[in-house]
Amino acid sequence: MNIYKHEDLGGKVSLDSGVDVPFDIKRVFYIYGTKPGIPRGQHSHHKIKQYLVAIKGSCKVTLDNGKEKTVHVLDNPYTGLFQDALIWGEMCDFSDDCVLLVLASDHYDESDYIRDYDDFLNIVLWNTWTEIIWF
């Protein structure tokens, strides 16, 4: 499941680490003031999981597992989108006022990033083959 609908507690939403968000939160960052037509993300992570909420405005997020892509519009503060490790993510179509909150399962570590799409596909393919061999 990627999309989580949280209860709006009369103008506020509460997210508990490991309960409402499916991992322990170690880092929080947010994206705002994005430039029109310039996408963000365009990478995957080896291990880090992320949880995205458009707490203001809206944006579009494409998640790609190497086999299929799903497109999600985030346009309210009570919907969260889970991006697992080894899922390629791209964020685009930010409204001028968009603030995209990102909760992450670990501290910032550039070595956890897969920024080349072909490398990403090779890793996914390799993992699929090793799973087939082991099971």
| Catalytic residue annotation | 43
Q: Quick one: 10 or 96, whose CB is closer to ligand T46?
A: 96
List of residues contacting ligand T46 (CB under 6 A): 27, 29, 31, 40-41, 50, 89, 91, 102, 108
CB of 42 to ligand T46, least distance (A): 7
Query: What's the helix, strand, coil split of the chain in %, to 5?
Result: 15, 40, 45
Nearer to ligand T46 among residue 96 and residue 131 (C-beta):
96
| Smallest separation (angstroms) from ligand T46 to the CB of 6 | 19
Nearer to ligand T46, 21 or 102 (CB): 102
Distance CA(8)–CA(29), nearest Å, equals 22
Shortest Å distance, C-beta 134 to ligand T46: 29
Between CA 91 and CA 42 the distance in angstroms is: 8
